Amino acid sequence: MSEVERPLAGRVALVTGASRGVGRGIALALAEQGASVYVVGRTERPGGELSGTIGETAAQCEARGGRGIPVRVDLARDEEIAALFQRIGDEAGRLDILVNNAIAIPEALTEPGGFWEKPLELWEMFDIGVRAAFVVSWHAARLMVPARDGLIAFLSGYVGATYTLGAVFGTTKAAVDRMARDMAIELKPHGVTAVSLWQNFTYTERALRNLERVPGLGERLAGEAGSSPEFPGRVIAALARDPERLLLTGGTHIVAELAERYGVRDVDGRQIPSLRGVRGTPIWGPV
């Protein structure tokens, strides 16, 4: 892609949970279109069962033609989030795109049993997936509102309306959908867009491992068209380029449907179908 084909050149993005999985895919998709991406996560050194570090993702962003800035942040610590935004303010002086992707996924999530049979640590999903996303968005808004521009995207899913893997998971994603809507009501007069995005099953490192380990998971997903981790990022990049994106603010949008709107395909050229009729319909429309 040449310089003239990099429509996000000069834009500054922040992606949480970007050492691997969907966060990594989103960071790469934004960088490929020229964005400078703050790659935020906790994993600095290779090792462990799942591959990926913030440094590796940042290097891959550079190879795609953008800029990758790895920053280790524990999103459970407000002071580390504040330090991240102090750095962004000092270095870039702006933030154009925020993607709240990070969520804690305890191993017990995919184990059989009711919520009362699993450890209370599962609530960490809500702490990172909702509370930390609120704190990050609070800081981001303080950069975007004065600029009267910006995009805040929350990664959610059909689990917001359809039971999937337990009570805490569904509660977390439903809360994200509502938070995006209510933030949008307050941000719209200032030209800042906030949306929640429902993605299909995504073939991340963890998902591929779970397909091998979790009994019956493959059968439950039979017939559902999964996407690559970069597909949501391609759609977010298209949304960031849309001069009329404020018309979508406050809505919970199905990624596959936005992809059709913008003419976006997955990395292998496939058109990912919406699962609205099978998995559920978003509650919140644009405000």
The phi and psi torsions of 73 (rounded to 5 degrees) equal -140, 130
Least confident residue range of 139-153, 170-184, 197-211, 246-260: 197-211
pLDDT of residue 206: 63
Q: Residues 240-265: pLDDT tens digits?
A: 999 999 999 999 999 999 999 999 99
Residue with tokens 């439950």: 220
Query: Nearest to residue 272, comparing CAs of 260, 281, 284?
Result: 260
Position 219 pLDDT exceeds 80: no
- Find the mean pLDDT for residues 47-72: 91
Helix crossing, 21-32 with 231-241: angle to 10°? 40
Tally of CA atoms within 13 A in the half-sphere of 216 that contains its CB: 4
Position 222 pLDDT exceeds 50: no
CATH of 3-279, one of 3.40.50.720, 3.30.1130.10, 3.40.640.10, 3.40.710.10: 3.40.50.720
Question: What are the DSSP E strand ranges found in the chain?
Answer: 12-16, 36-41, 67-72, 97-100, 151-157, 193-199, 252-254
Q: Residues 70-95: pLDDT tens digits?
A: 999 999 999 999 999 999 999 999 99
Position 205 pLDDT exceeds 70: no
Interatomic CA distance for residues 108 and 103, integer angstroms:
14
Position 39 pLDDT exceeds 90: yes
Position 123 pLDDT exceeds 90: yes
Query: Nearest to residue 22, comparing CAs of 235, 209, 232?
Result: 232
- Find the mean pLDDT for residues 121-135: 96
Interatomic CA distance for residues 203 and 232, integer angstroms:
12
Beta bridge partners of 36: 12, 67
Domain ranges of the chain: 3-279
CA distances from 179 to 84, 194, 248, 276 (A): 22, 9, 15, 21
Position 122 pLDDT exceeds 90: yes
Most confident of 46-55, 117-126, 134-143, 276-285: 134-143
More confident residue, 52 or 151: 151
Tally of CA atoms within 13 A in the half-sphere of 107 that contains its CB: 4
pLDDT band at 276 (very low <50, low <70, confident <90, very high): very high
More confident residue, 108 or 193: 193
pLDDT band at 208 (very low <50, low <70, confident <90, very high): low
Cβ-contact 35, 66 below 8 angstroms: yes
How many whole angstroms from its chain centre is CA 240? 14
